[in-house]
Amino acid sequence: MGSLNINGQAVAVQVEPDMPLLWVLRCELGMTGTKFGCGVGICGACTVHLNDKPFLSCQISMSDLNTQKITTIEGLQGAEAQALKAAWIDLDVVQCGYCQSAQLMAACALLKEKPHPTDADIDAAMSHIVCRCGTYPRVRAAIHQAAKRRPA
């Protein structure tokens, strides 16, 4: 039995200590916005925030989670998130959509850290997420647009 802080709520789960957070979210809690891609930390599809920093949920087990604040795509909020979601729609970023929750999670963390990122900042922050459709130019443009729209 363990307790997690997910999207601002205490959530009790009864799982094995070595179960990855990804499976806790998807299988135990039904939070399927966080995607399974490779399971070995290469594709980035499972990106969530741990204490407001992007992290691959397939790479951390229940026994490694203490009091970390976990944010998933279902709980992503704030000025950065709103600006990014609007830019994603305006620039028609999504194609298949599989990587989009991870892209938004990483982009939101970037804008919180660097409100006006350069192309190099964006490339560095987003490089761990594989997009099968190749929407990288639109992702970059959307992040720049969100940075301009975001209230100060």
Structure confidence at residue 26 (pLDDT):
97
State the residue range of the domain holding 8: 2-75
Residue where a domain terminates, one of 51, 75, 99: 75
Structure confidence at residue 141 (pLDDT):
98
How many other C-beta atoms lie within 10 A of the C-beta of residue 148? 9
Q: Provide the residue type at 68 as one letter.
A: Q
Structure confidence at residue 151 (pLDDT):
62
Structure confidence at residue 149 (pLDDT):
86
First to last CA, the chain: 42
Kindly tell me if the per-residue pLDDT of 84 is higher than 60: yes
Specify whether 102 is located in the same domain as 41: no
pLDDT digits (tens, 9 = 90+) for 95-147: 998 999 999 999 999 999 999 999 999 999 999 999 999 999 999 999 999 99
Specify whether 71 is located in the same domain as 87: no
Structure confidence at residue 60 (pLDDT):
96
Structure tokens belonging to residue 112: 């919180």
Report the alpha-carbon distance of residue 106 to residue 5 in Å, rounded. Answer: 19
Contact 41, 21 (CB under 8 A): no
Residue where a domain terminates, one of 49, 75, 101: 75
Would you call 95 exposed, middle or buried from its count of C-beta atoms within 10 A (0-12, 13-18, 19+)? middle
The CATH code of the domain that includes 46 is 3.10.20.30
pLDDT digits (tens, 9 = 90+) for 28-53: 999 999 999 999 999 999 999 999 99
Q: Residue 3 — very low, low, confident or very high, per pLDDT cuts 50/70/90?
A: confident
Specify whether 28 is located in the same domain as 62: yes
Residue where a domain terminates, one of 75, 108, 140: 75
Buried-state track 33-59, b at ≥16 Cβ within 10 A, e below 16: bbbbbeeeeebbbbbbbbeeebbbbbe
